[in-house]
Structure 1
Amino acid sequence: MNIRRSAVALAAATVVLGAAVPAVAATPSPTPSVAIPDGLYGTTDPTYDGVWRQSLALLAQRTTGVTPADRAVAWLAGQQCASGAFAAFRADTAKACDAKLMVDTNSTAAAVQALAALGGHRTATEKAVGWLKSVQNADGGWGYTPGGASDANSTSVVAGALAAAGEKTSEVRKGGKSSYDALLKLSITCDIGPDGGAFAYQPDKKGALAANADATAAGVLGVLGKGFVTTAGKTSAPPTCDSATAGTPSGLARNGAAHLAAAVLGAGYLKSALPGAEDQPDYGNTADAVVALAAQGATEQAKKPLAWLEQNSAAWAKQSGPAAYAQLIFAAHAMGADPRHFGGADLVAQLDATGPTPQATAKATDQSVGADADADADADKKDDSDSGYGVWWIVGVFLVAGIGIGFLISVRGRKRQP
């Protein structure tokens, strides 16, 4: 989601491509430079993706009926700054956030989606949403950091957070502009050859738009007001790109879905945009595309990439860690598939094994975020009891140390410039 969507990045070259990480960050090191905190999912350096991967992991658990460990939720809640914002990672939460700490929209929006789904964190989510509204750009969108130029992935992950918190995305405006207006400016018209219908991450220096697969997956969810977790939309005819309908969110989403459907039609997966790796599958972006296609109602077009992921994603997910497992769970959930029987693997158990043992695991797999609204509402009434934990995105540019590769991504986190 992209960023979704915006995704855990590349560790050394190519095996972990496409895992979910925040929109702009340096690549998390496989050898931690800081101690892995108690309660945090994953074993790689959390400096650049700690909040992101924890948020996706907890959200995936909630989606599949798993009750996360208290200390896992406490760790995420305790990462929030007094302003309401989140940084990618705070090693010392006893120290107040200051101007030197880089807070960002992707970590904040991902945390909102997770904490809203878990329930009992209304005050925290309201503060986070308030901060997100305060850093909205004049074009209606969001950049990775406050004041940064709007990008499709950050705008979409924030739109998903607003929806998760009960906001109407069309009514969250700056200068009369909403997230839809920002995404419309980043969409490519249908008459531009094979790029038609796609979303760009951002315009280039000359203002030109280049199709970006993960930005497109994020954009589809963003204009629909959907977060990382969604169910399939109403099935309709195969999506086609039609500029005449781009003036509506559903039309813009359909155009984006048409581009994604064409991109996965042949091999069944999206390819990496990294130089020298044109033929390499991008697992994370493919998972994001499945979610976007399903959300738009293009479930027939999403079946092939979902089947490809079932057969080919195991090694990638194992190496990439909790955010990757979460992306696959979101894809399965969107298509009504069972994440506990995903190509012979139990994604839920594999995710659970990357962090603290959950309190409970439900056998049913049809649970979704917000399924128990009454229970969540009751938990929100007890919100102040969470204060003992402290005050609590694919999407951007990733740098791979030693080999000098930069790329854009999204969770879902997911982005890369082609």
Structure 2
Amino acid sequence: MNVRRRSSAAALAAIAVIGAAAAPAVAAGPSPSPSAPASGSSGLYGTADPQYDGVWRQSLALLAQKTVGLVPSSKAVEWLTGQQCDNGAFAPYRADTTKACDAKTMADTNNTAAAVQALWAVGGRGDAVEDALTWLKSVQNKDGGWGYSPGGPSDANSTSLVIGALTATESDPEQVVKDGRTPYDALLTFALPCAKDKGAGAFAFQPDEDGKLLANADATAAGVLGALGKGLVTEAGEKTGAATCAHTGKPTRDQAAASGAAYLADAVAEDGHLTSALGGSADQPDYGNTADAVVALAAQGGADKAAKPLAWLQKNAAKWAEESGPAAYAQLIFAAHATGTDPRDFGGTDLVERLGATGPATTGARVTDTATVSEEDGAKDEKKDDSSVGVWWFVGVCLVLGIGVCVGFLLSGRNKKKRQQP
């Protein structure tokens, strides 16, 4: 879920904090950034300026809370639903939700797919989910995939995120067809062949300007989950042997997932983490992408396949998450969930409590395997002070030939009357 980039004949400008919990980003708009609201005062998680990531971090926060059995604050859910455009799409942030979305509203597939997964999880927002899915299908590309911006070239990350939104809502991506092509057809075009010496089995974000596929760890983590038909939240898959890249020709979905997992396993084998760097700077640990890799490795071959990067995160990610905020805590919770790790004791850090402190208190919890928390008990938590966690990321800005193409991680044929209960 870190900031992606697309090569083009034009130079690409990107500014990002390495290792920050990445959100999909868009090119800076003409208007000044809105002031950041006080933590939890508006229902929004985090205190950083939400202009580029408000919907993303809110979606991940709500989804993470539901994943650990909590019932998110209704105020937090209403904040997210209030960001939706009338056509069903979501932009990174709308400062004035009383104004209708127009051609200047930078709606995108990534924020929309993330919001779909969050709103489906919290339940009771069937109309909002249905409208968002309808919009996503309306902007599907002819190759079967999606780009970050409507009409933009398909990429592995965006396509995988939408696949996750479809499967999370019990929709079959195979039935979402454009010009005879499905989302899986598009996704597999980004898989590198096993015969390639460097990056064998990885996924590329997009072909470069010469049409070549270049291995990208972030796209690979997203691609593995997409190929498996998984969303942002998933449990460990069936335990398998060591993943290998062994297919010839166009891979099947399972082969592409196994090959991608083999690439990720090799990438974290030495240090236990993925790395990233801005141009001219030394490689640095990439916490967000490492968390995504943990989820992908566990989903493809079982929790033990993610043991080394998981251990590295448990030892090193607490400070990163504290500085980065809601989305970072959510990513670590997803990694914990995928590996069967206790998110309340993640290397000594209670991720659930830390996430909760960045926004409005939860109102209770549903019945889980171990306990039931009543609404009354949950209401007591409203008394606790909301805490600020500081600026959690600085947006990556991509501008290619006048088109903003920035992407987050690593999100129909369904029954509209089907509703989940909150």
TM-score normalized by the length of structure 1: 0.83
Q: Provide the C-alpha distance between the structure 2 equivalents of 1:158 and 1:287, rounded to a whole number of angstroms.
A: 20
Q: Provide the C-alpha distance between the structure 1 equivalents of 2:370 and 2:306, rounded to a whole number of angstroms.
A: 19
Letter in 2 for 1:344: G
Q: Does 1:152 align with 2:156?
A: yes
| Unmatched segments (≥5 aa) in structure 1 | 5-10, 368-396, 401-405, 414-418
Q: Indicate conservation of the 8 Å contact 2:149/2:405, yes or no.
A: no
Match of 2:306 among 302, 309, 321: 302
CA RMSD between the two structures: 2.6
Deviations along 1:290-334, one digit per CA (max 9) or x if unpaired, are 000011014323100000000000111011100000000000000
What residue in structure 1 maps to residue 47 of structure 2? 43
Match of 1:92 among 91, 96, 103: 96
Match of 2:192 among 188, 192, 200: 188
Change (3 A) 1:211 1:26: farther
Change (3 A) 1:245 1:167: farther
Q: Indicate conservation of the 8 Å contact 2:34/2:95, yes or no.
A: no
Q: Provide the C-alpha distance between the structure 2 equivalents of 1:3 and 1:121, rounded to a whole number of angstroms.
A: 29
User: Secondary structure at the residue paired with 1:86?
Assistant: coil
Q: Indicate conservation of the 8 Å contact 1:84/1:131, yes or no.
A: yes
Q: Does 1:19 align with 2:21?
A: yes
Q: Indicate conservation of the 8 Å contact 2:3/2:396, yes or no.
A: no
Q: Does 1:399 align with 2:400?
A: no
Q: Provide the C-alpha distance between the structure 2 equivalents of 1:136 and 1:207, rounded to a whole number of angstroms.
A: 21
What residue in structure 2 maps to residue 410 of structure 1? 408
What is the correspondence of 1:102-117 to structure 2 with a 5 Å cutoff?
102-117=106-121
Count of residues paired in the alignment: 369
User: Could you tell me how far 1:277 is from its partner in structure 2?
Assistant: 3.7
TM-score normalized by the length of structure 2: 0.82
Q: Provide the C-alpha distance between the structure 2 equivalents of 1:238 and 1:23, rounded to a whole number of angstroms.
A: 35
User: Could you tell me how far 1:182 is from its partner in structure 2?
Assistant: 1.1
User: Could you tell me how far 1:194 is from its partner in structure 2?
Assistant: 3.0
What residue in structure 1 maps to residue 358 of structure 2? 354
Q: Does 1:336 align with 2:340?
A: yes
Deviations along 1:257-284, one digit per CA (max 9) or x if unpaired, are 0000000001000011422344310000
Change (3 A) 1:408 1:92: closer
Letter in 1 for 2:341: A
What residue in structure 2 maps to residue 319 of structure 1? 323
Match of 2:64 among 60, 85, 92: 60
User: Secondary structure at the residue paired with 2:397?
Assistant: strand
Which stretch has the larger CA shift, 292-301 or 324-333? 292-301
Q: Percent identity, please.
A: 60
Q: Which structure has the larger Rg?
A: 2
Q: Provide the C-alpha distance between the structure 2 equivalents of 1:3 and 1:291, rounded to a whole number of angstroms.
A: 18
Letter in 1 for 2:336: A
Q: Provide the C-alpha distance between the structure 2 equivalents of 1:214 and 1:408, rounded to a whole number of angstroms.
A: 13
User: Could you tell me how far 1:78 is from its partner in structure 2?
Assistant: 0.8
User: Secondary structure at the residue paired with 1:145?
Assistant: coil
Q: Provide the C-alpha distance between the structure 2 equivalents of 1:311 and 1:12, rounded to a whole number of angstroms.
A: 27
